[in-house]
Amino acid sequence: MARRGTPSSTGRPTGTGPSGPRNRTPQPVRLRRRTFGDVVKAFLAFVVLLVLVVGVPGALAVTVGWPLPRSAPSMDWLSQPIDVQTFLNALTVVVWLAWAQFTACVLVEVKAAVSGVGLPGRVPGAGPSQLLARQLVAALLLVGATAASLTPGLSQLGHSLEGNQKGTVATAQATPGILAQQQEQAKNTAAALAEQASHVSAQAEQGSTATHGATKYYRIQPPEGRHHDSLWEIAQRHLGDGRRYKEIYELNKDRVQPDGSRLSEASLIRPSWIMEMPGDAHGGELVENPDAHVSPEVRQQIGDYARTGDHAQQQHQHQEHREQGGGQHAGEEGATARITAPGPRQSGDTGAPAAHAQESSGHSSFGLPEALLGAPLLAAGLLAALGRRRRQALWQSALGAVGGRRGMEPPIPTGDAQDVQDALLVGADPDGVRLLDRSLRGLAAALTAESRSLPVVYAAWLSHGDLHLQLAQPAGKPPAPWQLGQDQTFWTLSRADAERYEDTDAAAPYPGLVSLGTMDDSRLLLNLEAVPGIVSLSGREADRAAVFASVAAELATNGWSDRMTITLVGFGAELTPLAPSRLRHLDDVEALFETMEAETRQRRGALGAADHHSVLTGRTGPAQHTRWAPNLVLLAGRPSDQDALRLAELAADAGRLGIGYLVGTESGDLPGAAWAMEITPDGRLLAPLLGLELQAQLLPAVQQRAVVELFVEADPERDPDGPTTTPPFLVDISEQGRPAVYARLVGPYEIIGLDTPDGERSALLHEALALLLLHREGVHPRVLSSALWPRGVTEDVRDALLERLRGWLGTDPDGSPRLRADAAGRLTLAKSVVSDLDVLRSLYHEATQGKGVDSRAVRGRLLTDALVLVRGPLLADRAEGRYRWLTHEIIDAQLPLLVADIGLALSAFHLEKDRAEKAIEALGAALKTAPADERLWNELLRATHATGDPERLRALAVDLVARSGARGLPPRTEALLDELLPAWRDGAAATG
């Protein structure tokens, strides 16, 4: 019998013949009148079952009798000729065995059909027999009271029963050798993910529904073969669009089902559950205001269920009312920029900054790229990596330069790069990254303590502030505080439990997790290294490129991985500056085969030598930090069919080796692909067979170039002179340049020239002013908003604060406000508002590059004045929980280096005149702010040596050795001590 093709995401049939995928469209439950044909079919089925189950053994007993010898045969029996009776006896034994197998099939099918739950057991080797038994039992039960809800249609007669013991599955394409087996395994596990994916997502958007006619209901059918019913497929059949599954979900969530359970965000639909359908649902399988055509039991169940509808609707309306009245908290979490109706606030969801960006901007993005605003984990990774790159440039400049020729200021981005930097600051969710990392490492540490291996994880969902790990198969009870989710393949950790985790030295267990997008208010991370085969991505070239760039950038910079390799094939050479140690570029597919065939062999051998089944068993225990880093291959261009099959063979064992493959294709028919996804022009990521429809996470070409520009500009190897030497804002340090408003940030926070604001907003006003003072180039309003309210705020609240800040700062004598906006809309301060950090930078600049260059006296006075300004660390008395935006800044690295430079310059100034004590005093003052600067300690050794007091120098050496601890002295310091005090090692050893 021909098989019907299942519509793909593009609307084309995916196959119609034996080599195509199995039909995943379920045969709906038919609640209808019993016809004369049903009675005839049932009668014939009864007759056939009676003949096969009772008649066959009776006929055998009467006509043949007992076919086996009644006593143990002798060895002579083997040499006797085979007569007709012997042949008949042997044939009778075969018939008896076949009868026993068929009878077992009938019993299994009757039990499964009557119970209505679970899958029928699979009788070994009984494919055709069990299929026949199923159809006969189904036909017989057609006349029963609950037959319609228990039996598949007879139209399925002739379909294969293969794999009946599996979960939902799409049959793999016919590929040679191990590939075919691996494809089948991949489809099995992919379908398991499909059944559950939509149920982990939180509350869906409520779609508009045409409600006309009588109320209609649908009863979930039990599994048939390898197929399970799903809301997507029900919507596809009865509403014409699988994406309308959300409407069915909204109508039925939290309503009590006949078995006492409820449909919720963490539940799977179950056989015999009842679903109220939208008014425009169509199809003969539906029941309208249950009539007499269904059994009394079903009619009673549907009637009871219908009475719960008003309550559910009232509950939903009440929730909507709370959402609309939530003020600044409405719609803050888990939405990308393209979602128009974000869900309610979810405590701790990693989508917080993204949704906050959407809300606080109203209906405009203010020029910031929405793609990064809606990618909180990607933005956090890029921002952290960029900060590390800039700090590295500062340190290399400080250690490698001489005198005043080095600078402390990274270049200020402009244009698209400035917009992207602002978007990163607004969209980043470092807390979400931190919790995800700690949670996963904590899980690995707990499993190690219990001598258990890591389970295979296909995906992670961040939803309602909770973390859900979706396992490939049940792995027992998770270690506390993790709990089982809606079934045995979900391990769940609440936000409250995640926040109790501390840092651990466990290896990153799932470094291959990468964000794909959001479904409603849940964010999906797919574990690329665990997918059993190739993941294909179809769509337009530009859209695919945006997905690939996003995946590559997040994998290269994420905070939940230790080591990994991302292999970019045929694209992405320009992305390597993001993480040169992680990103590797190959020119073409041939280079990929050459590289990956060798690596695959090497990994197989290493696993065998270590007696590990997979890389996961090597990420717990003693070897966790020494091996098993993943290699994730991103191939953006479609390979030829021959290369695709070759790649699929290579990827057949990739899941256990820690190798993942994401391959692009123009259409969705990549040979050998295990999972298929499609990116649409409007930014949706579709995978119908996986049950996924996501708002995709993208990094379009313009933002990609701007991100790369930020990293290139911060590269310490790009410019041998390091950062620029000129501060972004120079103040008039003469007596005539006295500012109207002076803020002391270096040390305790003080403001001179303004009255202290009254009320609770005083702290916010102070924090906003500090942020503006540290960014004289200007601050985007959304950056200011996200810094002050990390969990989001409405636009009117932000604007009200800015008005208060503007009024607090006042105006200059010419009437111009001291808080203003530049041409791009960024907030800037007037030159009359100055901080001590501005003065500190200006004094040092003037001493080393201005008037102090030609006048020794001026240089000494400027450097001394600068060092006097240093009263401690930046904002030393800031309240706990505030100024968290400082973690995104590099001022914590700039200020100690600047103070160290001032101390070194002043020390050199005094040593020129042999004033060693003055030099020691200057260095000591600088060490209070920069105690870890090796340059200050080395200069202190020279200044102490200049006093001519060996004992004082020896005491300083002993103090340095004690401070260094187990790490020991830096090589430069050791070399300097060898020069100044050759016997220092003996003194240090004696003291120790």
User: Which pLDDT tens digit goes with each residue over 954-985?
Assistant: 999 988 988 888 788 888 899 999 899 888 88
Is the confidence at residue 479, as pLDDT, over 90? yes
- 136-171 confidence digits (pLDDT tens): 777 776 554 333 333 233 222 233 333 333 333 333
Is the confidence at residue 884, as pLDDT, over 70? yes
Convert 745-804 into a string of H (helix), E (strand) and C (coil).
Answer: CECCCEEECCCCCCCCHHHHHHHHHHHHHHCCCCECHHHHHHHHCCCCCCHHHHHHHHHH
Mean pLDDT estimate for the chain: 77
Q: Residue 941 corresponds to which tokens in the numbers above?
A: 């050794």
pLDDT at 36: 67
pLDDT at 171: 32
Contact present, 380 and 523 (Cβ < 8 Å)? no
- One-letter amino acid for residue 410 of the chain: P
pLDDT at 376: 94
pLDDT at 188: 52
Is the confidence at residue 273, as pLDDT, over 70? yes
- 331-355 confidence digits (pLDDT tens): 332 222 222 222 333 333 343 333 3
Top-confidence residue, 407 or 685 = 685
Instruction: Report d(CA 136, CA 151) in Å as an integer.
Output: 10
- pTM, two decimals, is 0.66
pLDDT at 74: 58
Is the confidence at residue 6, as pLDDT, over 50? no
Mean pLDDT of all residues in 892-897? 89
Mean pLDDT of all residues in 925-929? 92
Tell me 513's DSSP state.
E
Mean pLDDT of all residues in 756-765? 85
Point out the least confidently predicted range of 178-187, 767-776, 886-895: 178-187
Is the confidence at residue 212, as pLDDT, over 60? no
pLDDT at 808: 95
Mean pLDDT of all residues in 30-39? 56
- The residue written with tokens 């049939």 in the block is 13
Question: Where is 394: in which H helix or E strand?
Answer: helix 376-400
Nearest to 940 by CA among 954, 955, 925, 923: 923
What sign for the dihedral angle of Cα 368, 372, 375, 380? Answer: negative
pLDDT at 568: 96
pLDDT category at 320 given cuts 50, 70, 90 is very low
pLDDT at 936: 93
Q: pLDDT exceeding 90 applies to what percent of the chain?
A: 37
pLDDT category at 99 given cuts 50, 70, 90 is confident
Strands, E assignment, 315-428: none
pLDDT at 987: 63
Is the confidence at residue 512, as pLDDT, over 60? yes
Q: pLDDT exceeding 70 applies to what percent of the chain?
A: 74
583-586 and 457-463: which strand pairing?
unpaired
Q: How many C-beta neighbours within 10 Å does residue 887 have?
A: 13
- 747-758 confidence digits (pLDDT tens): 999 999 999 888
Instruction: Report d(CA 549, CA 860) in Å as an integer.
Output: 52
631-635 and 534-538: which strand pairing?
unpaired
pLDDT at 141: 65
- 805-827 confidence digits (pLDDT tens): 999 999 999 999 999 998 888 99
| 84-98, 219-233, 563-577: which is most confident | 563-577
B/e letters for 674-693, b = 16+ CB within 10 Å, e = fewer, are bbbbbbbeebbbbbbbbbbb
Nearest to 172 by CA among 593, 657, 651: 651
659-665 and 534-538: which strand pairing?
parallel
Q: Residue 423 corresponds to which tokens in the numbers above?
A: 């978007």
Is the confidence at residue 211, as pLDDT, over 50? no
Rg (CA), the chain: 36
pLDDT category at 69 given cuts 50, 70, 90 is low
Is the confidence at residue 636, as pLDDT, over 80? yes
Question: Where is 518: in which H helix or E strand?
Answer: strand 513-519
Convert 117-165 into a string of H (helix), E (strand) and C (coil).
Answer: CCCCCCCCCCHHHHHHHHHHHHHHHCCCCCHHHCCCCHHHCCCCCCCCC
Q: How many C-beta neighbours within 10 Å does residue 409 have?
A: 18
- 384-404 confidence digits (pLDDT tens): 999 999 888 888 777 665 343
pLDDT at 294: 67
Question: Where is 547: in which H helix or E strand?
Answer: helix 541-557
